[in-house]
Amino acid sequence: MLHRTVLIEIWSDVVCPWCFIGKRRFEAALERFEHRDEVEVVFRSFELDPNATSGTDLVGHLAAKYGTTREAAEQMMHRVSDAGASVGIEFRFDIANRGNTFDAHRLLHLADEVGLQHELKERLMTAYFCEGADVADHGVLAATGAGVGLDPRAVADLLNGEEFATSVREDESTARELGISGVPFFVVDRAYGISGAQESDQILSILDQAWAESVSTQRVSGRQANNEPSGSTAAP
């Protein structure tokens, strides 16, 4: 019997609202995917602003980033909030605390090693967008890690050192090699790319297509490995 696991890599940042929305839409698509039990999902690191410093004036930051007015930036936030509400996210941009996410990404790599990456990703995004937590603060990261079941000592060692720093940089380097300049970005089996927080129906369509192609490729490979012809007529 053929067995195939589809690898889905998601480049995103924990302070990216569209990444949070895209995560929810992806989860809705995956719930309807017939082969969801044969899918491996891994979150990859991507820093929207590697030079970010702590601060709460998101409207001012957004206006400066896009060269627009505060009023226009507020309208952008309203549109994002409406999109978030449609997938069950109550964004609190009024209390969100900007900060550097490098250590959060390192912590996500630790969580991946022990099977808790998805829980930590959800918790970090919720803490930042809904609770006003500073995800650059080591105390916040330590408490969040412990809250999802990470070993507190392992978390403390990571935050006090440089563990997984190389892994974060490798993810970001791979993103550049793949031409990823914005997030969220979903890569399916390194063959299909989904840019942005697409609707769940579109994501599901790509998953179905990737699965069908992967199974077809595996069948051909299996026939060739068994010295069987890849066509309908036996080789002479």
Residue 9 β-bridge partners: 42, 187
Q: Is residue 221 part of a domain?
A: yes
Q: What is the pLDDT of residues 32-74, one digit of tens each?
A: 999 999 999 999 999 999 988 877 788 888 898 889 999 999 9
Mean pLDDT within 96-115: 96
Number of domains in the chain: 1
Q: Is residue 77 part of a domain?
A: no
Q: Is residue 135 part of a domain?
A: yes
CB burial of 58-88 (b: ≥16 within 10 Å; e: otherwise) equals: bbeebbeeeeeeeeebeebbeebbebbeebe
Task: Indicate the pLDDT class of residue 158, thresholds 50, 70 and 90.
Answer: very high
Phi/psi region, residue 149 (left: phi>0; alpha: psi -120 to 50; beta: rest), is: left
User: Lowest-pLDDT range, 92-101, 146-155, 170-179?
Assistant: 92-101
Q: Is residue 213 part of a domain?
A: yes
Which residues, 6 or more positions from 210, have their beta carbon under 8 angstroms from its beta carbon?
A: 6, 188, 189, 191, 192
Q: Is residue 230 part of a domain?
A: no
Q: What is the pLDDT of residues 209-229, one digit of tens each?
A: 989 887 766 544 444 333 332
* Domain range enclosing 34: 6-56+95-225
Amino acid (one-letter) located at 15: V
Any idea what the CATH number is for the domain that residue 15 is in?
3.40.30.10
pLDDT on residue 229 = 27
- The pairs formed by 214-221 with CB atoms below 8 angstroms and a separation of 24 or more are 214/4, 214/6, 214/189, 215/2, 215/4, 218/2, 218/4, 219/2
Residue 193 β-bridge partners: 187
**Measured between alpha carbons, how far is 163 from 171 in angstroms, rounded to an integer?**
14
**Measured between alpha carbons, how far is 12 from 187 in angstroms, rounded to an integer?**
11
**Is this structure's pTM higher than 0.85?**
yes
pLDDT on residue 225 = 34
Q: Is residue 159 part of a domain?
A: yes
